[in-house]
A = this chain, B = another copy of it.
Amino acid sequence: MGIESTETRMFLQLDAEKQQRVLEAAIDEFSDRGYEKASMNVIVQKAGISKGALFKYFGSKSGLFAFVYRIALNHVKDYLRTVRDKSQDENFFRRLEKIMAAGVDFVHRYPGLARIYYHIIFTGDSPYKDEILKELHRESLKFIQSLIEDGIQQGDIRPSLDPKTTAFVLECVLDRFLQAHHLQFLDHSLRLHGASAEESNQWIQEIVELFKRGLENDSKKSREVDK
């Protein structure tokens, strides 16, 4: 498949400090400028290696990007899976809160990877564009829809809801919410950029409350679980 990462044995055999240095330089440049505008010359400079060496490690710019993208995607999958599994027994709205909070944590813990991930989501800026985007959106959709299905099954949200509409609305709010944490120009109403965890959590509460009213299953009061 086109988006296979192409790090060579040579790269994998470097000492850990050098691998780390190269990886950080790449994340830095790709997160700052996206795929197309990122410059291998800049990455080389930041990493303190020769350009020829970098091309030996990854074959091409797209190969290097694929390597970084995979790391970002795996981190996203990890945090989503972790929070989903840990919140299995909670109600839909509580789960939604936790997913948003985990997203904020991800953005704060791995700012570079988060920027790369969301830049791809919003702009499609990547090599092998179709495959990467298909993969990203398949993952995202699968996750949100399973959450909604669980919520309907557990009686937290109305069975009459159209799952597609609900997934659409949830997804765009979640994406924008997280993106506003690191893209200041999108952050004109909630001041999420630079917000403390507590402030972000305030906003999470408010947003989820809004969704609660809109989605809640009246005929079966939403299960409350100890907070």
Instruction: Give residues in A with beta carbon < 8 Å to B.
Output: 36-37, 122-124, 129, 133, 137-138, 141, 161-162, 164-169, 171-173, 175-177, 183, 185-186, 188-190, 203, 206-207, 210-211, 213-215
Contact = CB atoms under 8 A, between A and B. Distances in A.
Q: Tell me if A's interface is mostly helix, strand, loop or mixed.
A: helix
Copies in the complex: 2
A99 B211 CA distance: 21
Contact of A185 (B137, B141, B164, B168): B137
Nearest to A176: B172
B210 A169 contact: yes
Nearest to A122: B122
B207 A168 contact: yes
A103 B210 CA distance: 24
Nearest to A161: B210
